[in-house]
């Protein structure tokens, strides 16, 4: 097997790595780059626990080869917080108790951020559709939807403040 050399950007940092051609981006993030926020729930695109963005587009990192990251911009849950300052989504997930075991949480956060980036004022239905690719075995989803709704409000407030 011939290893592949890859230059990419992860959460704004330029990163080079070498991986096997069969390794997924999720494998690379977790096993080579130490970014263990993204989780493997299924490995088949069904659960969304491995959600990341590639060039701003939400994807399942278990369905992307590490080699495909060449020259792309990867965003993971580790890039959500601004230093010690949690993203409104992270804060609202805590405040709304939108997690129990937490395995699904990074995926939900990344998917919800992709939603809010494109639509900072989603309806409940839009939130539920946007998160249909993320499975949670613990919470029953309701608290997750409420947390996203509350975070959307916070994000809109932040944006309004920035405009002033």
Partner 1 sequence: MRYEAPSTTREASALLANAKGKAVVLAGGTDLLARLKSGDIEPDLVVDIKRIDTTQSIKRMASGFRIGASVPCVEIGRSAALKRAWPGVVEAAQLIGSDQIQGRCTIAGNLCNASPAADSVPALIAAGAKASVVGTAGRRTVAVEKITTGPGKTSLGKDEIVESINLPKRPPRTGDAYLRFTPRTEMDIAVVGAGVCLTLNGKGEVSKARVVLGAVAPTAVIVADAANAIIGSRLEDSALAEMAAACEAACNPIDDMRGTIEFRTDVSGVLAKRAAKIAYQRAGGK
Ligand X SMILES: Cc1cc2nc3c(=O)[nH]c(=O)nc-3n(C[C@H](O)[C@H](O)[C@H](O)COP(=O)(O)OP(=O)(O)OC[C@H]3O[C@@H](n4cnc5c(N)ncnc54)[C@H](O)[C@@H]3O)c2cc1C
User: Which spans of this chain sit near ligand X (rule: CB under 6 A)?
Assistant: 44-46
CA-CA-CA-CA torsion sign (143, 149, 155, 157)? negative
Task: Select from 28, 54, 45, 58 the least CA-distant residue to 135.
Answer: 45
136 binds partner 1 (CB under 8 A): no
**Would you say 99 or 127 has its CB closer to partner 1?**
127
Least CB distance to partner 1 at residue 107 (A): 9
120 binds partner 1 (CB under 8 A): no
* CB-side neighbour CA atoms (13 Å) of 12: 6
By three-state DSSP, how is residue 79 classified?
helix
Q: Which residues of 94-130 are buried (b: 16+ CB within 10 A; e: fewer)?
A: eebebbeeebbbbbbbbbbbbbbeeeeebeeeebeeb
Least CB distance to partner 1 at residue 163 (A): 26
Tell which one of 99, 109, 114, 155 touches ligand FES (CB under 6 A). 99
Least CB distance to ligand FES at residue 131 (A): 11
Tell which one of 32, 43, 91, 149 touches partner 1 (CB under 8 A). 43
Q: Distance (Å, rounded) from C-alpha 116 to C-alpha 76? A: 15
- Name residues contacting ligand FES, limited to 58-87 (CB under 6 A): 60, 62
> What, of partner 1, ligand X, ligand FES, none, does residue 49 touch, CB below 5 to 8 Å by kind?
ligand FES
Contact 49, 41 (CB under 8 A): yes
The residues of the shown chain that bind ligand FES, judged by CB under 6 A, are 40-43, 45-50, 60, 62, 99-104, 136-139
């Amino acid at each position: 097997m011939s290893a592949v050399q890859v230059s990419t950007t992860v959460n704004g940092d330029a990163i080079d790595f070498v991986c096997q051609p069969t390794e997924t981006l999720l494998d690379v993030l977790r096993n080579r780059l130490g970014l263990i926020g993204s989780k493997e729930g299924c490995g088949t695109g069904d659960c969304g626990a491995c959600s990341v963005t590639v060039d701003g587009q939400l994807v399942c990192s278990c369905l992307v080869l590490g080699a495909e990251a060449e020259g792309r911009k990867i965003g993971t849950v580790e890039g959500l917080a601004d230093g010690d300052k949690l993203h409104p989504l992270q804060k609202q997930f805590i405040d709304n108790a939108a997690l129990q075991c937490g395995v699904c949480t990074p995926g939900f956060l990344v998917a919800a951020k992709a939603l809010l980036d494109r639509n900072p004022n989603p309806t409940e239905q839009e939130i539920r559709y946007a998160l249909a690719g993320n499975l949670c075995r613990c919470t029953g989803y309701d608290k997750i939807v409420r947390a996203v709704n509350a975070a959307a409000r916070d994000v809109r407030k932040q944006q309004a403040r920035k405009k002033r």
